[in-house]
Every structure is written in structure tokens, then in C-alpha cells.
Structure 1
């Protein structure tokens, strides 16, 4: 119904009690150095948060680097401000913003947001933090990536302490920092990070659904309906601890000779992994419904990473009805209940991960029971609930800044 039709329509009787509670609309500036069409956990989850904020009637200004594949109007429901971007070292398909403090000060001085939320701690994120502080705007941030942990895998381990120091300095200048799990929040608190809140991640249970399971796709992998298919989804890179997947598959293969291994994703370790398990299926990077079909066609999801702050692939696998074998860290550590929806390794050794994989994929009945439990877990992880928590942190930061400003004005008037 268009506006004119709506105005001309006959008034309808309604009960005020049935109307939704009024929502306080805010002007939000969201700063991120990665966003779709880039494919990674930060990009995809930030897109869901932005969409949900818009649905809740907030005015969202999205500030991010311009991407070579950017299409005009891709985010028509938000005010996009595109900055210059450069390739990220070691991740050439990703972009990082360049220092932009002056431009952001000018932008926000003319159109002042109620709060600035910074999703990434790169050059653009640092510029946004400085600009917001210059204008005395409340700032919230996400802690999303264990850069200091990744350093061990990219020959910059000597700089891990300096990187951690930078991250602590960055987040402690914010009014609030959101950690994706309670475990990460506690670790950050022990490292001197302040004003921490736990805000998890949701999952799209309509897209990631066991109903998408495809016997045709499984047949392309050489697997029958009841054969074991285990797989990994994500970047094929050293920090993901992928040799543990190779070891787990070899152990499963000895137990179940018809087992299959599927790698979904790409990265610098592809050639090495192909040499180690030439019989595995490397299907490359997938997205959208195609990715969801690949998840749902797996039986066991092998996730050996110890460097995640969350790991969106864990929730996507759970929603797809995959039994999950993982370490007790990040999302898996909080969402996997061994014996109910997957199995957690007893310690951080490769042997423990292999043992967890053997338990998870033991037989058809076990896989089906754990997969059903995985789906039940995912159905509790709605994005609406996550963004409600996100809103609460933003409102708290705005209120605290308003109180500090009022107290400052009071002191000035009394001096």
C-alpha cells in the first residue's frame, strides 16, 4: 500500500496495547575495514548487524574502504561513505582503509552521529577513534581477531607483544568493547582491557538448514547417503591448524574406509594440503545458498583452529545439522556440549582433536543424534537477540558520555 492509499483508507479500530513499544531511533556511524562482497566472518556478521539496525529504524552511516568489486547501491538502505583502500598484506583479496582522521572529523562535525561503532582496529579504525575523540563522540568497538595469536604463524611472533599493546591502547580509549564470547572477555580482562561486554554472534537458520542436504552433491564426492563425509569450511591458512584435520581424516579413514573429506575455501595452504590428501575434494570458495548446501551435505564438521575470537563457521555448521569436532575455544568452547551436539577435544593437542573427531564420526546413529542436537543449539542463536544486546551496549555508552558531559558543564558553571 502506498502513502496516498494509506491516507485514504478507512481508519481501523485497534488496541494500543497491541502496538509494538516505541523504539528510540539513533544516528549510528559504523566503521569497518571489511564488508561484503568480501567473504570472511567479520564482513558477514557486520552486514547482518547493519541490516538488523536498519530494520530497527536506526539511521546507519557505513564507513568502509572502496572495494574493486563494489557495486553502487549494494547497500541502498544505509548511507555509505567509501574511503581509499589498500590490499591487506598476506590477504590480497581483502582491503584495509587508509588514515582518514581529517575527512571523518569534517564529516561528523557536519552530521554528528549519536555514537561511533568501530568493528576493526586497522588504519581506518584508528582514524575513526581519533576523530570521534576529537569531537567528543561516544565510541564502541568490537574485538574480533586474534592478531597477536596470528603473528606466530606469519613469522612476526616477536611483534606479538607490541600488537597486543596496540590493541589494548585502542580498545581502552573506547567507551565499551564487545567481546564475542565470555572466554575471550575474561582473557582480555586479564590482559588489562577495560569496559568489556560479551556480545555473541547470530546465525541465519533459514539459509543454513539441514533440509539443504544434497545426495546428488554427496554423490559427486563419491559418498552414498549413509557414508561419512567430514569437512572443513574456511581459509586454508597456517593459523587454522589444518594439519589436525588431515590427521583426523586419516584416523577416520582407518575406521571407515568409505569416509570422504571436503575442503571448502581457498588460501596459501591449498597446495600443501592437496599433496598430503590428494583423495580429498577441494571445492574452492563458496557463498550463499551454494555454501549452505555444502555445509548441509557434510556429516561432521572438523574445526581445529585455536586462533579464532568466535568462528562464525561453527554456528553455520551447527545450524546445518553438522556434528562438530573442535577445540574448547571461541564459539565452539561455549556452544558445543560434548555428546549432545558434537565433541570437544580434551586438550589442545593434535591427538586430542583426532580423538574428538573419532568420537563425533563414530557411526551413523551417533552422527545423526549429534547433528540433530547441533540444529537445536543453532535455533537459539537469533540475530535479533544479538543486535538487542548490541543496542544495549551502544545506549549505555551514549548515556555514560552524556552524564560525563553534564557533570563537566556543571563543574564549569560552579567554577
Structure 2
């Protein structure tokens, strides 16, 4: 079959949406399908790959280097008339995504959308909490143009279903446990951080920005450091809050964006993953930390709620309980034996999650849409 994917972010951009959508595309291709892709032109400019259509884009506020696609309904209609896909997956809610859903409806091509970003929660993080209902209504209108809206957790499926989103379908996530594994722990890398073998290293992986609630991660680490003065905090990633964080905390170690095996080595070389974000739709990094054998402290929603057992794999803290988050960081971070046991259990907990199974479920869903089959069974799974 021929499927089309429309996304406003794509590697080498590093974010959860880009990497998740890339994995979905690779999964379809591995199953023998033709996949075409539509996305904005990136900066620096790159030539289109085979089967790829690049459209005009504009800079995304607060996300330097990222672009959103400008409206392209007429262009997409021409493209899909010439090479009609059996089904379309629209991964992002920007102008390009809106154009894709309009073009699909006009041409009678079934389309699924992906709910990847909690823009309603971003309103709160950027001081406009009063706009949360408006953002949720805007997203509801967008996703209800599709024949199915794919979400990564049962919790989110139920939340959206209770707020007027139609045809919400669960598509679970997985993690590549061959890429992320404890065997990538690197003594030389830890030595470059200036830590001894037994010094606890807290690590944060992700965008360094206000919506990630990073002030809490800092407070939690400082409390751990009271107990273990030799503890160090390693930051992997980049973002608008990095410069200020570096100025205010010169003892923190900033490693920038890491990819592939280098990212796996950074994960596995940490001892405690601190992830205080309250704005995630899922949080792929939670599974990556667990697969790396690193106990994780995170709020109990998204990937944490689905996969992390409190007290066994780390700590799943009630959302908003900052004291509980800090106490867990001190307790787990200060106990090497406990960290070892939790890390091994976390690895085991995600060892049965297979990207191949996600690809098969995605394939089945798109094939069902292409054949006009109802997807109520999948939505209720």
C-alpha cells in the first residue's frame, strides 16, 4: 500500500515528535509499504529525499531552528491527485497539518492524525493559563477532521474522549532496547564529567525550556547534593533556558544535543533520571532511561503512568507534588544499592516493548482506514 505522512518536524531535528514519526515511517517501510512524506524545508537547506515533498515554512517562535509549514492545500491536492495514497497520517497541528486534512477530505482519502503535543498545557507554562480551554478546543476541531486520532496512552485516550474528541485510538509506544541498554555505560565518559565511580550522577535529557519544569529538577538535585556532596548533574539537550541555567549553576555539566549511540552512552552513564515535566503527551525519554537501566523520578502520567511502577523502577510522583519529587530524588539518589536494583527492574519492565509491534498496529490501523473498515475495536483496546 501507499501511505503519506505529513509532519512539521523531522530529523535531524531532535524532539519526541520528529523521532516518533520517523520510527513510524521506518516501521511501515520495513513491512513493505511505500511511504511518501510532506514536510517544511529545513534550515540549513537540504535536498528532498526520494518520495519526499518539501513545502514552504516559517520560523517557530521559541523554537530556534524549527519551522512550521505554511498553508499548502492546493499543492497537496495536486500532489495526491497525481500519486494518490491509500491513507494519510498527519502528525502535527500546524498550518501544513490543517492543509493536509482539508486536502484529504476533498479528495476522499482517509486520514489519521497524531496527538503528540499538549499545547493546552504549554499555555499554562508560558503564563497564559486562561487560554488552555481555547487551545484544547482548537485541537479538538483539528483532530475531529480526521477519521481517527492516535494517542500513546489509555489515560490520554480517556481524557480526550471525555472532552469531545471523536474516534480516539490507542497506539502504544515502544523503545529500542538494543539502542538503549546498560551495556553502554561508559567509564571514560563519566571521567570526563569529573565524577568518581561511586558518585551519583543525576541526568536530564530533553529540551531545556520553561515548559519542562526544570526549576524543580534543580531543587531536587541540590537536596540530593546535601546528602552526597560529590553528586553531579548532567544535562543532555539544548533550548532557550540553557544559557541562564549555565550562568546560575556553573557546576552543572552541559553536553548539548546527543544522538544515536552517543545518546545511549549518556543515558546509561547516569545513575538517576530526573524528569519533572508536566507538559508531556507521552515522554519517550522515560522509556529510554528505563531501558538504559537508570531509575527514574517523574510525575505519574504519560509514559510513567503506563510503564513505571513506583518504588520498583524509581518514583512515580503525584502530579504537582514537588516535595514528593524532591524526597524521592534524595532517597533513591543517595542509595547506590537501591539504584542498582531499581535500574535492573526498570530495564526488565520495558524489555518486552517492541517497535515492531507498534509498526504492525500502525499498519493495521491505516489499512483499516484505507479499506473503509470501522476502527472502534482498536479505539476500545
The gaps in structure 2 that reach 5 residues or longer are 376-381
Higher relative contact order (CA 8 A, sep 6+): 2
* Residues 269-300 of structure 1 deviation map (CA, whole Å, 9 limit, x = unaligned): 12332244321111222112111111110010
Q: TM-score, normalised by structure 1?
A: 0.87
- Give the Å deviation of 1:306: 0.6
User: 1:326, 1:353 within 8 Å by CA — same for their partners in 2?
Assistant: yes
Q: Is the 8 A contact 2:88 2:109 kept in 1?
A: yes
Match of 2:71 in 1: 99
Aligned: 1:269 with 2:241: yes
Q: CA deviation at 1:259?
A: 0.9
Structure ID, larger Rg: 1
Given the alignment, which residue of 157, 161, 167 partners 1:195?
167
The answer on whether the counterparts of 1:99 and 1:127 sit within 8 Å (CA) in structure 2 is: yes
CA drift of 1:162 comes to 2.0
Return closer, same or farther for 1:169/1:347 CA change in 2, 3 Å cut-off: closer
Say how many residue pairs are matched: 375
The answer to whether the 8 A contact 2:200-2:231 is kept is yes
SS at match of 1:400: coil
Q: Which residue of 1 aligns with 2:123?
A: 151
Query: When the two structures are superposed, what TM-score results if normalisation uses the length of structure 2?
Result: 0.94
Match of 2:80 in 1: 108
The alpha-carbon deviation at position 392 of structure 1 amounts to 2.2
Checking the alignment, whether the CA contact within 8 Å between 1:246 and 1:277 is kept in structure 2 is no
Q: Which runs of 5+ in 1 are unaligned?
A: 1-25, 404-415
Structure 1 match to 2:143: 171
- Name 2:17's counterpart in structure 1: 42
Distance 1:401 1:84 in 2: 35
Q: Are 2:36 and 1:64 aligned?
A: no
- CA offset at residue 379 of structure 1? 1.6
Tell me the secondary structure at the aligned position of residue 141 of structure 1: strand
Tell me how large the CA RMSD over aligned residues is: 1.7
CA distance in 2, matches of 1:193, 1:347: 24
1:295 aligned onto 2:267: yes
Q: Are 1:138 and 2:113 counterparts? A: no
Aligned to 1:29: 4
Task: Please report how far the alpha carbon of residue 71 of structure 1 lies from its aligned counterpart in structure 2 after TM superposition.
Answer: 4.0
Alignment of 1:16-415 (within 5 A): 26-69=1-44, 71-72=46-47, 75-76=49-50, 79-400=51-372
Deviations 1:67-101 (A, max 9, x none): 1235447x55xx11111111111112111111000
Contact kept, 8 Å, 2:368 with 2:374, in 1: the verdict is no
